[in-house]
Amino acid sequence: DAKTTQPPSMDCAEGRAANLPCNHSTISGNEYVYWYRQIHSQGPQYIIHGLKNNETNEMASLIITEDRKSSTLILPHATLRDTAVYYCIVLRKGAQKLVFGQGTRLTINP
Amino acid sequence: NAGVTQTPKFRVLKTGQSMTLLCAQDMNHEYMYWYRQDPGMGLRLIHYSVGEGTTAKGEVPDGYNVSRLKKQNFLLGLESAAPSQTSVYFCASSEQSGSMTLAKNIQYFGAGTRLSVL
C-alpha cells in the first residue's frame, strides 16, 4: 500500500473551514484514500473515503487531485470537538489492514 | 446498539503475568482486528481475523495470541506480560466488502484497554 505524508500539526479557528492535506504520490490505480480521526483517549473514527472523485458526507468533504497524488480533507465549519489527530490512509481495493502513520494533530482554537 | 465493546478498560499487570483482553461486536461483522498504540504513535496491527475460526498475524504479533471461536468475539492473550507491552489496545471490526468493484474498509473501533506492565 502507498505511503502517505501529512503535516504533523495544524491549527484552525472555530467556525472556519479546516483543510488537512495528504500527499500520496505513489498511489496506484486500485488504491483508495481513507480518512480516520482519533479524538484524545478514544478509538479512531472513520470519516470518509474516495477513489478519484470528490466525496462529501455529513462529516466532511474529500478532494482528490486529478493525478490522485494528493488529497485534502475539509471540515467545513470546524468546532472545538473536531480537535483530534487525523489519519490519511491509502488502502488497496479489497485489502483489510489499515496502516496508521503519525497523522496530523488538528487543534481548533476558540 | 453497543458497537464494539472492550473489556477491561484498564489493567495493571506484573511482569510475567498473563491476561486476556476481550472484544465483542454486535454488528455481525466478519473481520476483527487488534491494534496497539504507544504514546505519540499511530496504531499498529497485532493480529486480525477474517472470520470465525481464523486468525492471522499483523505488523507486531510477537508476544500475543488470539482466538476467534465465535463470530462476535475476538480475544487477545498475553501469556507472559513484559513492560514493552505497556500500551493502549484497540479492537476494531469491519464488514466484508460485498463486491470486488467496491472497496470498503470502514473499521469501527472500541474505546480501548489501557494496560500497564510493571
Asked if B110 reaches chain A (Cβ–Cβ under 8 Å), the answer is yes
Sign of the Cα torsion A11, A68, A29, B29 reads positive
pLDDT at B100: 45
Closest CA relative to residue A68, chosen from A30, A27, A101: A27
Nearest-angstrom CA–CA distance, B93 and B110: 9
Q: Is the dihedral of CA B102, A82, A108, B37 positive or negative?
A: negative
Q: Which residue in B33, B42, B58 is closest to A87 by CB distance? A: B42
CA dist B48 and A86 (Å) reads 23
C-alpha cell, B52? 470465525
Distance, C-alpha B4 to centroid of its chain: 11
Give the model confidence (pLDDT) of B49-74 as tens digits. 988 999 999 999 999 999 999 999 99
Reported as a single tens digit per residue, the pLDDT across A30-43 is 889 999 999 988 99
Mean pLDDT of chain B: 90
Amino acid at B80: S
CB contact under 8 Å between B4 and A34, yes or no, is: no
pLDDT > 90 in chain A, percent: 77
* pLDDT for the residue B97: 57
**pLDDT digit string, tens, across residues A20-67:** 999 999 998 888 999 999 998 899 999 999 998 899 999 999 999 999
Contact between B111 and A96 using a beta-carbon 8 Å cutoff? no
pLDDT at A60: 96
Dihedrals phi, psi of B89, to nearest 5 degrees? -105, 130
pLDDT score recorded for residue B102: 46
Verify whether the Cβ–Cβ distance B92 to A43 is below 8 Å: yes
Cα separation, A36 vs A47, whole angstroms:
5
Q: What is the DSSP letter of A110?
A: -
Chain B: nearest CA to A44, how far in angstroms? 6
- Amino acid sitting at position A66: E
Could you tell me how many CB contacts below 8 A there are between chain A and chain B?
Answer: 64
Contacts with A, B 59-98, CB within 8 Å: 59, 90, 92, 94, 97
